[in-house]
Structure 1
Amino acid sequence: MEQIIKPPHLDVSIDLQQAKSLVPLKDMSPEHLDVLLQSAKAEYLYPGQVLFNRGSVDQCHLYLLYGDLLLEDAEGRETLLKGRSEIMPLKHHKPRRFQATAATDCAILRLRSEELDKLLTWSQVADYLHSVIARDRDMDEDVQWMMQVLHSNLFYKVPPLNVEEIFSEMTAQVVDAGEVIIRQGEIGDKCFFIKEGRAEVTRQGATGIEQVALIEAGRCFGEDALVNDAPRNATVSMLTDGVLMSLPKQGFFRLLRSAQVPSTTLSHLQQRDLTSSSIVDVRSDEEYALGHLPGAVNIPLHLLGIKSRLLRLGVDYICYCDTGRRSTAATHLLREQGFNVKVLADGSELFNRADFDRYLETDKNYVLRDGLAVPGH
């Protein structure tokens, strides 16, 4: 898409408050959403300019922030969308089935779909783990720093599905002001979380030592050398006395491990026993309302920690979403609780079909009763 100069009378800034009204961004933590918006782009269209054509394929979620946008389908039917009232991404199924043309001056928010899906999933997994940790009275003293870990910068880079077992591998280290924790050029064998205190990040450059950043409690450092399997790219020294939690390299690599969960396919859904199985849609309630698999109940991933009590041992559950990432995470977490759960392996293929909506329900919703799906009111 060619670069478009912003019309002088349009002044649209992208901030957390505005993004928190959009679906599914509204279900992300402020920390993860802030990271997502760092790579977001605001684009501006004049009347008559085309945003996308029918049949085009891109890897983006597009949101109408301002103005009126005209959607035209293959039969020439037109729908007018008005900014400020649109909270869903613009017909983002691929390939696109509409041509989108600006009817007035428009502002568009463009987000990379893969980045959105990753950060959304990791944010919601952190929410789930928060609810689990908060219920464990033995962890009362550790809840605050554990939540700092879950919302730290480390989990903008790696999936936290295995984080529960990682906490047990972390060891506390009391440090003094002025102490050097890692040195530039060293081979990394662990990463660190600042539980208490402040530190300084410096780097040796062509003109001498430069201060790169100041980091405080709740931040992780040293993970880049492990992620990239490269020497340390900076030196970190304590500015105050403090406490660090260190995670050895082997434990860190367990974080990178993808969850291995059993799966099933759409073709097997028709054969399941309705008296002992249920389908669980883990997308947001707004996404569910736009269309869901027949008979599926809605338990959004970020509410899984609260609503998993509605499930019942002995019932077979199948989790799905539109990409497979949130549903794989949900399947893993529920299996950790002892439930019999599989992920729908080809759910994303269904949502990318041109006629996907033929297979979805929009006029019915379902709830769990005694662990099984029944029609809601």
Structure 2
Amino acid sequence: MFLLGEHVASVEGLLEYVNSSARSLQRLLPPSPNNIELYPGTDLFTRIPRGHLCLVRRGMLSAVMDNRVAYILQPGDVAGIEGGIKAATVSYVCEDPVELDCFSPVAFQELMKENQQLSNTWQSYVVGLMTLFSHSYGDISKEQHRPQAGFTRYKPGDVIIRQGEEADNVYTMMKGDAKVFIDEQEVGEVHEGEIFGAIAALTNAPRNATVVAGNSCTVMAVPKTQFVSLIHAHPETCFHLLENMARTINDLNRRLTGDSAAL
């Protein structure tokens, strides 16, 4: 599971606990005869009835509430845990193809009865989720700052940001890698988990580089106004930015040193 934004240490620890349980679930839960592939833009509940439980086998699934991404499910996570509760308005959509094993409530309960280890792991996962969400809600209530994020998929060679354009968003590379160019000269790379495009957004300057997808990429975009608020609420975000900047500077220095040596 992936929660948007920066979090206090207790939330990060609980998130790791949930993800560890999810990995065990993926290993222990047998394949379902009702295995489906969800394509980009499709709501899970247009394919299966509400109340079914679906284990993510491959890909990432966004949980959407009130037209906003609340969290992201990864392999091993289970969608539909809210059951058939009418008040639950969550929907599940994907940006990339997702493979899921879907189980009816009765079939899922039978699997729990047959495998005590699976049952214990499921209980750990559910309790972990409840604790994670309660702590996360407290974190949100305290700070009241979470970005409204959008996700975009890029094919190899697609331009993510272009040098000289106005900077409206700050980006995080969720999946894949990209190359960075200044005046058509390659100067660095963007890797999974890294923030990019922040400098121009924070300084209200035009983009000083072009970023091109090196392979199939999924990128999260946060409006720059919300990103500024996020930094005020979570100063640790600056640390991640500084790490990215330091790596970029080191990469550029290595390239320049290599070019000088070649001369």
Structure having the larger proportion of residues in helix = 2
Higher Rg:
1
The verdict on a shared fold, with TM-score over 0.5 as the criterion, is no
The structure with higher relative contact order (CA 8 Å, sep 6+) is 2
